[in-house]
Amino acid sequence: MTRPKLFAFASPSGGGKTSIIKPLLKKYPEIEFSVSATTRGMRPGEVHGKDYFFLGKQEFESLIAEGGFVEHEFFFDNHYGTLKREVDRALKAGHSMVFDVDVKGALSIRRMYPQESVLIFIVPPSLEVLEQRLRNRGTEDEQKVRTRLQRAAMEMETGKQFDAVVVNDELQKAIDEVDAIIVKHIHS
């Protein structure tokens, strides 16, 4: 028997969740990827409803007031969130969904959908490896790397509340471990 599930993935920045999620979404095309809503402007090449649901600030704030989000955050001068109507639509259609969220967003999904949610926390083998990954990206200055490492400690503590913790020390091994978690929960 197949039951729709909400697979919420979180990890410290540089933990590798995107590298794990992408091949699994290809393997399971019937699982939808949750498209977030945002108030930030659309970038060239982005498509409304595919990359993000692009909303005006007033519309976004009205939806917050109406309880229209499963989770939402405000950072870098913009709102980001998961539309409740999209999650409800997927579940009603019998579709499972994957979320790429932070730890607080994952816990919000669990609070709103306790029976359907499966929280998966992806961790690097150590904070030293995480630091190396962040530095090797070359996308952030020293202050941002330090900030991300400080946040990682909090995230790793919060990740202990998740249903599964997967150590991403070898990518294919981590993908296989997450694949087994998905199969177990969809067919239980």
Residues 41 and 89 in one domain: yes
Instruction: Give the pLDDT confidence score for residue 67 in this predicted structure.
Output: 97
User: Counting beta carbons within 10 angstroms of the beta carbon of residue 119, is it exposed (0 to 12), middle (13 to 18) or buried (19 or more)?
Assistant: buried
Residue-number span of the structural domain to which 72 is assigned: 35-94
Sheet with 117-123: strands ordered across = 32-33, 97-100, 6-10, 117-123, 164-167
User: Residue 172 is part of a domain; what is its CATH number?
Assistant: 3.40.50.300
Of the three residues 94, 116, 143, the one that is the final residue of a domain is 94
Residues 114 and 152 in one domain: yes
Residues 112 and 83 in one domain: no
In this structure, of 22-26, 56-60, 144-148, 178-182, the range with the lowest mean pLDDT score is 144-148
> For the segment 58-108, what is each residue's pLDDT rounded down to a tens digit?
999 999 999 999 999 987 789 999 999 999 999 999 999 999 999 999 999
Whether pLDDT at 188 is above 80: no
What is the number of structural domains in the chain?
Answer: 2
Instruction: Give the pLDDT confidence score for residue 139 in this predicted structure.
Output: 72
Q: Which residue has the higher pLDDT, 126 or 18?
A: 18
Strands 78-83 and 37-38 come out as: antiparallel
Whether pLDDT at 149 is above 90: no
What's the number of CA atoms in the CB half-sphere (13 Å) around residue 92?
6
User: Residue 45 is part of a domain; what is its CATH number?
Assistant: 3.30.63.10
Residues 6 and 83 in one domain: no
